[in-house]
Amino acid sequence: MLSRTHQCGQLTKANVGDEVVLNGWVSVRRDLGGVVFIDLRDRSGIVQIVFNPEFSTDAHAVADKARTEYVMAVSGKVVERDPETVNANLKTGEIEVRITAAEILNAAKTPPFFIEDGIEVDESVRLKYRYLDLRRPEMQRTLILRSKAAKLFRDFLDDNGFVEIETPILTKSTPEGARDYLVPSRVHPGEFFALPQSPQIFKQLLMVAGMERYYQIARCFRDEDLRADRQPEFTQVDIETSFLSQDELLDMMEQLVVRLMKETAGAEIERPFQRITYADAMGKYGSDKPDLRFGLELVDVTDLVETSGVKVFADVAKKGGQVKALNAKGCATWSRKEIDDLLPFAARYGAKGLAWIQVKDGEWKGPIVKFFSEQEIASLKERLGAEEGDLLLFSADSKKVVADVLGNLRLKIGRDLGLIDDSKFKFAWVVDFPLLGYDEEAKRWVAEHHPFTRPKEEDVHYFDTDPGQIRAQAYDLVLNGYEVGGGSMRIYKREVQEKMFAALGFSKEEANDKFGFLLEAFDYGTPPHGGIAFGFDRLVMLITGRTNLRETIAFPKTASATDLLTDAPGEVSDKQLEDLSIRLALKAPAAK
Amino acid sequence: MLSRTHQCGQLTKANVGDEVVLNGWVSVRRDLGGVVFIDLRDRSGIVQIVFNPEFSTDAHAVADKARTEYVMAVSGKVVERDPETVNANLKTGEIEVRITAAEILNAAKTPPFFIEDGIEVDESVRLKYRYLDLRRPEMQRTLILRSKAAKLFRDFLDDNGFVEIETPILTKSTPEGARDYLVPSRVHPGEFFALPQSPQIFKQLLMVAGMERYYQIARCFRDEDLRADRQPEFTQVDIETSFLSQDELLDMMEQLVVRLMKETAGAEIERPFQRITYADAMGKYGSDKPDLRFGLELVDVTDLVETSGVKVFADVAKKGGQVKALNAKGCATWSRKEIDDLLPFAARYGAKGLAWIQVKDGEWKGPIVKFFSEQEIASLKERLGAEEGDLLLFSADSKKVVADVLGNLRLKIGRDLGLIDDSKFKFAWVVDFPLLGYDEEAKRWVAEHHPFTRPKEEDVHYFDTDPGQIRAQAYDLVLNGYEVGGGSMRIYKREVQEKMFAALGFSKEEANDKFGFLLEAFDYGTPPHGGIAFGFDRLVMLITGRTNLRETIAFPKTASATDLLTDAPGEVSDKQLEDLSIRLALKAPAAK
């Protein structure tokens, strides 16, 4: 076999005159009057190679047999193309290679789809033939960028004294949270390992172990019902530090993200990132992961409408709900139908109705206008900054429903009106998450993050009076409306941990049952610590402008958690089950 | 909390006069006449800090309460120690820090063992309290070196155009090889994922996918009965390339290993590495992973003894077995008891006896000497280089038993005689492994490596005549008697693959059943490719001079595949099993 000297996509005018050996796949083959032109493709790109019997009859005979996706080794001389045949769309378009020796390394059947960017093929076909799908340049670029992003994370963390430590994949089922994947133990019949949902416990133990700065690009597993942006196994950049404050950690992570975005997306991200409290994010954007590339903020008008004649507004206000509005600038021109079409969208998020006012021809128009006093209209006008041409949309309901409805309407209208600059990467930290949420069904407080999340010092006294008021030292990193990271400072003082367990209603025994060895570890000199985990798949998705996580993963699973390429999961032998001391317990199919 | 300015182990005379803030754990605390001296430890090392009421009564009062393994934040001034109190054993031994402010960040119970190097504590206690065990400097150094080694692998591979690609952990059970760990699927009742024994199939698919150079530091799983140097989950540096020959790949891997050893162990390794064929390794050292730090080679004397009066030698030679000898230089002085003590050792490897000859006082002595002719003694003397003072040890049996017996005796005697330089790293490639081995029980040929291993071109013709003669393009990297890496060039031509399957006795249907989608993939333009995997845990073990893999893994499992820290595996709830459509099938305990 000829030994490669250059990569296809590398050749430029600077190589003219060079004798080169190339390896690659036949992307396109054309025969023009007895001269064969092949676009030869390797990972680096494409170059045109020319087989003319005048250069070599042997090589020409080989080219004659070559077909699409055949693998070839060729050698020849780089020459400048005639000016009229220069291909400006190709990096190598100013040159071609005159082939004097060629070998077919392997033949290929005709692929089920074209090996090129932007194909329109059912995703299930692409997944079944993933090894061909990954040959397409856009998939190769994505995987190469993913590799580069991982390298950038590692280089930065290494430069900052972090130690990469692997934690177990075969570990123990955790008492709370999402469903675990289980692994039966052969050596210990009746017992099971669990695949980790995250290395959370181990990373905290590593802080107890004095490792001070830990990271790992870790595989995590959740046996949950899947959505477009979930995978049963996913990758997170898992980080934990000792002796840093929240501000010090977030500052360091910002530097990391800025470097990452510059090197992968060529984007200059300004520091410090905006920090927005959870309360403000929910209030202004109806979301704890707001898309901050545009305004269109939610405005609370509850106080202005609680005595108004709009009965639903007044009722909601009296019952402790909220009335909030969006001012869709310039949308007063929308037809009645266009406005009405918003309702089914809003209903998806729980809206029972959607009130609106058009500011048009110097007047306020719409079904509810007549129920407002002049004074009410004046104050709404002022608070909403309502001007000629605006469309005001109102939602009145519980705080949660109003946030969901207007938060999602805001995104839809922002997109429809072209307010969102897709070339922009807008990062922000959402901070001060509530520590506890009240579970109405179980009638008890539950941890919003996890039971080791550290409360803000100034809120600790609320444990005794008003646990719902306690803000956590917890933070999410949001990018363009997606959560791309999140973490918290952890509790390290025994007395705070006891208050937390008391608030969650755990007796000492229950706490020990659930978290035994971790609590024991905390007794041996636990440093102040905290950390963060970045959703690596999602980050790569956003950097590469994709909208589907599967595009960023070499061998992903479908929404029903199957691998169409290997056909996993699959049946196993009775012997295998017997070895594991389990048997199947299949339910009879349910009657339809 | 005071914000850290320096790490403990970092401070030297150059810092004298600096005001510093340190965080760390109390390693040792001594009260000398009202002045408290604490050795404060963090990941970087230890520094002595001094609390004198003259510097600060508040800080001194805090130090009074501090106990071993308490976590502290302190600030003070670096001063030079009095010459008579300089501690030459400590990097920071020329200075100490006079503390003017101190805070106890957390208290600690008394640990179950000392947090220092070289403790003699039952390993099960260390594993149960792994978070304390990992606080010991030697464990921290090992994990930090492991992290550095991973970084060096990645940097080298990245510099050489390799793309890091993650492959699935939830994948499909493979038809052959070691036992798989299985994961029941909730979504697909009765079906199972398997945890990968290696990313073998995926890395070959990535070559079909045109990724050309892939690597991954991959977690692999084998549900095998464990030994000291096995873990149910282990880490390998997994590498695959297209368009490189075996020599090109091995050459590149040598450069990688040389860099790794220089940066982690400070060792200068010479290139090229010795390459020894499998046949020579077995012949000279009785092992396919020879320790080449010393000689003491096995010598074949079958031809010299087949007609001798030593009946067992003559019989073995006639039956196609082997008679081989070791010349233990200078061991003629061993007592009869010392020599006899070798027999139980040899018996462990299958020896039924062990013949010996002492060359002593100008004579050949020993029970078998009288059965040799003078001519036979002369030729044995010449071939074995036997001189005054030597002890000759003979094994006569099948090729395999002789190799096992003398190979292991060689190691034992080498060690006993101090022939092995433990400071030396001796790498070598073992090449030309046999492609096929004959399974006497199943009466068929089986793949020694795997069914996609490429035969040497010049041996392909043996498929039709003598499959046992075919040498594979397969190679192992050995270091000081351990296999630390291995791999092969893969078959990429359909006609060779068909010959291989025919030799293994697979019909086309069987081959498709077993390897369906991979064979299908190979039809679409597979490049010539091959790869290697390094056993990362074992490599780190050898670099750090350890003899137990568990010392190199943060949270290892015991020989019975349990995690003593988290107590995994464990029982799970009936609800969890029901969700997975399985139930337990425990056997009644066997009668004793």
A47-63 pLDDT tens trace: 999 999 999 999 999 99
Tokens of B465: 């005549």
Contact B584 A189 (CB under 8 A): yes
Name the pTM for this structure. Answer: 0.95
Taking CB atoms and an 8 Å limit, are A154 and B154 in contact across chains? yes
Hey, how many other C-beta atoms are within 10 angstroms of the C-beta on B485? 24
Q: For residue A167, which residues of chain B lie inside 8 Å, CB to CB?
A: 554-555
Contact between B243 and A179 using a beta-carbon 8 Å cutoff: no
Provide the residue ranges of all domains of chain B, joining segments of one domain with +.
8-106, 294-420
Q: Who contacts B122 (Cβ-Cβ below 8 Å, separation ≥6)?
A: none
Window 51-70 of B: residues touching A by CB (8 A cutoff) are 69-70
Chain position carrying tokens 């636990």: A526
Q: Which residues of A touch B529 (CB under 8 A)?
A: none
Determine whether the annotation assigns residue B449 to a binding site.
Answer: yes
Q: Which helix (H) or strand (E) element contains residue A148?
A: helix A137-159
Q: Could you tell me if A224 lies within 8 Å of chain B, comparing CB atoms?
A: no
Cβ-defined contact of A569 to B192 (cutoff 8 Å)? yes
CATH of A8-106, one of 3.30.930.10, 2.10.260.10, 3.40.50.2300, 2.40.50.140: 2.40.50.140
Q: Report which of B487, B436, B429 is spatially closest to residue B459, judged by C-alpha positions.
A: B436
Assess A309–B contact: CB distance below 8 Å, yes or no: no
CB of A144 less than 8 A from some CB of B = yes
- Closest residue in A to B213 (Cα) is A43
Strand partners, A217: A237
**Partners of residue B230 in chain A, C-beta under 8 Å:** none
Q: Which residues of A touch B182 (CB under 8 A)?
A: 183-184, 572, 576, 580
Q: Does B569 touch chain A (CB under 8 A)?
A: yes
Cα dihedral across residues B530, B536, B537, B541: positive or negative: positive
pLDDT block averages, 10 residues each, chain B of length 592: 89 97 97 96 97 96 97 97 93 97 97 94 96 97 98 98 98 78 94 95 97 98 79 97 97 98 97 98 97 97 93 93 96 93 95 94 94 94 96 96 97 95 96 94 90 95 94 98 97 91 88 84 96 98 94 95 93 91 82 48
Lowest mean pLDDT across A256-270, A462-476, B299-313, B506-520: B506-520
**How far is residue B410's CA from residue A11's CA, in Å, rounded to a whole number?**
56
Asked if A580 is an interface residue toward chain B (Cβ–Cβ < 8 A), one would say yes
Single-letter code of the amino acid located at B260: L
SS3 letters across A36-59: EEEEEEECCEEEEEEECCCCCHHH
User: Which residues, numbered 378 to 437 in chain A, qualify as contacts with chain B under a Cβ-Cβ cut-off of 8 Å?
Assistant: none
> A584 and B581: CB-CB below 8 Å?
yes
Residues of chain A found within 8 Å of residue B168, distances taken between Cβ atoms: 233, 555, 557, 563, 568
Query: From the CA of B77, how many Å to the nearest CA of chain A?
Result: 20
Interface test with A, best of B106, B207, B473 (most A CBs within 10 A): B106
For the range B160-164, what are the long-range contacts, defined as Cβ-Cβ under 8 Å and sequence gap of 24 or more?
A: B160/B213, B160/B252, B161/B212, B161/B213, B162/B213, B162/B214, B162/B215, B162/B239, B162/B241, B163/A143, B163/A144, B163/A147, B163/B211, B163/B213, B163/B214, B163/B215, B164/A147, B164/A150, B164/A151, B164/B214, B164/B215, B164/B216
> Do residues B234 and B550 lie in contact, with contact meaning Cβ atoms separated by under 8 Å?
no
Cβ atoms within 10 Å, residue B279: 15
* Residues of chain A positioned with their CB less than 8 A from the CB of B199: none
Rounded to the nearest 10 degrees, how much is the dihedral formed by the CA atoms of A558, A562, A566, A572? Answer: 180
Confirm whether B8-106 and B294-420 share one CATH topology.
no
Q: Which helix (H) or strand (E) holds B57?
A: helix B57-65
Annotated binding site of A for ATP: 222-224, 231, 483, 535-538
Cβ neighbours of A242 in B, within 8 Å: 23
Query: What is the rounded distance in angstroms from the CA atom of residue A42 to the CA atom of residue A45?
Result: 6
Q: Is there a contact between B248 and A563 if contact means CB atoms under 8 Å apart?
A: no
User: Are residues B109 and A201, on separate chains, in Cβ contact within 8 Å?
Assistant: no
Q: Give me the residues paired with residue A263 across strands.
A: none
Residue A175's pLDDT band, with cuts at 50, 70 and 90, is low
Angle at A281 between CA A280 and CA A287, to 5 degrees: 145
Query: How close B220 gets to chain A, by Cα (Å)?
Result: 10
Q: A209-232 pLDDT, tens per residue?
A: 999 999 999 999 999 877 667 899
In this model, does residue A15 exceed pLDDT 60? yes
Q: Is A242 in Cβ contact with B210 (below 8 Å)?
A: no
For the stretch B265-277, pLDDT in tens is: 999 999 999 999 9
Mean pLDDT of A150-164: 98
In degrees, rounded to 5, the angle at the alpha carbon of residue A489 between the alpha carbons of residues A488 and A493 is 140
Q: How confident is the model at residue A473, as a pLDDT? A: 98
Q: What is the pLDDT of residue B592?
A: 46
Residue A591 clears pLDDT 80, i.e. is over it = no
Mean pLDDT over A304-321 rounds to 92
CA distance A73 to A55: 16
- The topology under which CATH files domain B294-420 is Gyrase A; domain 2 (3.30.1360)
Contact A525 B554 (CB under 8 A): no
**Which residues of chain B neighbour A46 with C-beta distances below 8 Å?**
none
Whether residue B387 contacts residue B266, with contact meaning beta carbons closer than 8 Å, is answered with: no
| % of chain B with per-residue pLDDT over 70 | 98
Q: Does the beta carbon of A588 lie under 8 angstroms from any beta carbon of chain B?
A: no
CA distance B84 to chain A (A): 32
Taking contacts as CB-CB distances below 8 angstroms, the residues of chain B near A41 are: 210
Q: Which chain B residues are within 8 Å of A210, Cβ to Cβ?
A: 25, 41-43, 134-135, 140
Q: Do A570 and B173 touch (CB under 8 A)?
A: yes
Interface of A with B in 178-197 (CB under 8 A): 179-195
Residue-wise burial string across A29-66, b where 16 or more C-beta atoms lie within 10 A, e elsewhere: beeeeeebbbbbbbbbbbbbbbbbeebbeebbebbeeb
B83 lies within 8 A of chain A by CB: no
Provide the number of CB pairs (under 8 Å) joining chain A to chain B. 351
Q: Which ipTM value was assigned to this complex?
A: 0.95
Give the minimum alpha-carbon distance from A395 to chain B in angstroms, rounded to a whole number.
39
Q: Are residues A168 and B568, on separate chains, in Cβ contact within 8 Å?
A: yes
Question: A377 at the B interface (CB within 8 A)?
Answer: no
> How much is the pLDDT for A208?
98
First-to-last alpha carbon distance for chain B, in angstroms, is 62
Q: What is the pLDDT of residue B230?
A: 83
Identity of the residue in A169, A243, A527 whose CB atom sits nearest the CB atom of B169 = A169
Contact (CB<8Å) A195/B523? no
- Chain A, 469 to 528: residues with Cβ < 8 Å from chain B are 492-494, 517, 521, 523-528
Contact between A179 and B186 using a beta-carbon 8 Å cutoff:
yes
Q: Are A17 and A52 in contact (CB under 8 A)?
A: no
- For residue A502 the two structure tokens come to 């008391």
B-interface mutation test, from A147, A493, A574, most B Cβ less than 10 A away: A147
Identify the pLDDT of residue A592: 46
| DSSP one-letter string for A98-146 | EEEEEEEEE-BPPPSS-SSTT----HHHHHHTHHHHTTSHHHHHHHHHH
CB B108 within 8 A of CB B67: yes
Closest chain B residue to A165 measured between Cα atoms? Answer: B147
**What pLDDT sits at residue B553?**
97
Rounded to the nearest angstrom, the minimum Cα separation between A160 and chain B is: 13
Rounded CA-CA distance A241/B530 in Å is 40
Burial (CB count within 10 angstroms: exposed 0-12, middle 13-18, buried 19+), residue A260 = buried
Quote the CA–CA distance of B181 and B197 in Å, as a whole number: 9
For residue A192, list chain B residues with Cβ-Cβ distance below 8 A.
Answer: 569-572
Cα nearest neighbour of A156 on chain B: B151
Q: In 3D, which of B193, B241, B240 has the Cα closest to residue B221?
A: B193
Residue A94 binned pLDDT confidence (cut-offs 50, 70, 90): very high
Express each pLDDT in A330-342 by its tens digit.
Answer: 999 999 999 999 9
Interchain CB distance below 8 Å, A572 and B523: no
